[in-house]
A and B are shown apart, each in its own frame.
Chain A
């Protein structure tokens, strides 16, 4: 399966999606002008991945900041993961970033089955 490997920029996150190496990660800042356009390839990739996923999918979110338009797309990603057997989320937040911790908790309440693990750094 194709690998997605995007370098982070000042307004878009670093993204790695690599099925063979079992790497699934979104990190950094997400405040693109057009969040739907930016995340469209990620959602498409997950649609393909969903048809033949690894037995385990540990999806890492290590976001420093995201805007509200991105939050809607992050929920779309989580909703897709919610339908993938063996998927789980590790949600990283900076140790003094209560807002990011709370954002992760809210996302976890918005999905059905997807387990969340919270880790501070």
Chain B
């Protein structure tokens, strides 16, 4: 734990109220050690997209024990980078599509991501859950690194989706 320098770990049900609390805690923590404003904004940005993805899309694998959309969210600080990690269940039939989208995003460079962003914001519609389909792209753009992700089967119906985004602390 100490070696990993975890700033915050939250596991449980996610709502907009919880999202706001988690953001406020992480912000206060970064303020406390005087993090640079530009880095703080990028971390905040990635956190928002990550947390709101969970609120909108996470599935519960055990509603009785964990509420309707149980997930885990972590933010860690290393010497040269912040690591934002989330893990939540998703329906198995969504894995292929999610995986293809993430692979496509990871195949693009800075300009490619910008073009994809503009194409989707211009032509895309908000989903029934209010998502713009831009969250992963935005996370990749703010990060400047590849997104790391994995899917592990939980049962017949669900897979565990983990996602890790890195924000460098050295301005590049």
Contact = CB atoms under 8 A, between A and B. Distances in A.
25 contacts: A31-B48, A33-B52, A35-B132, A36-B130, A37-B130, A65-B41, A65-B45, A67-B48, A67-B49, A68-B131, A68-B137, A68-B138, A69-B132, A71-B121, A71-B132, A72-B132, A72-B134, A94-B37, A97-B37, A97-B41, A99-B142, A106-B114, A106-B118, A109-B118, A110-B122
A99 B167 CA distance: 14
A106 B132 CA distance: 16
Interface string A94-118: 1011110000001001100000000
A75 interface: yes
A59 B7 CA distance: 39
Taking residues whose C-beta sits less than 8 angstroms from the other chain, chain A's interface range is 20 to 34
Contacts, number: 67
A72 to B, nearest CB: 4
B135 to A, nearest CB: 5
Taking residues whose C-beta sits less than 8 angstroms from the other chain, chain B's interface range is 20 to 34
A34 B15 CA distance: 12
Q: Which 4 A/B pairs are nearest by Cβ-Cβ distance?
A: A68-B134, A33-B16, A72-B132, A68-B132
Interface string B131-146: 1101101100010000
A2 interface: no
Interface of A: 10-11, 31-37, 65, 67-69, 71-72, 75, 94, 96-99, 106, 109-110
B44 interface: yes
B22 interface: no
B167 to A, nearest CB: 12
Most A-side CB within 10 Å, residue of B48, B124, B135, B137:
B48
Given A67-B52, A75-B121, 16 more contacts: A10-B20, A11-B16, A31-B48, A33-B52, A33-B130, A35-B132, A67-B49, A68-B132, A72-B124, A72-B134, A75-B122, A96-B38, A97-B38, A109-B118, A110-B121, A110-B122
Most B-side CB within 10 Å, residue of A10, A35, A69, A110:
A69
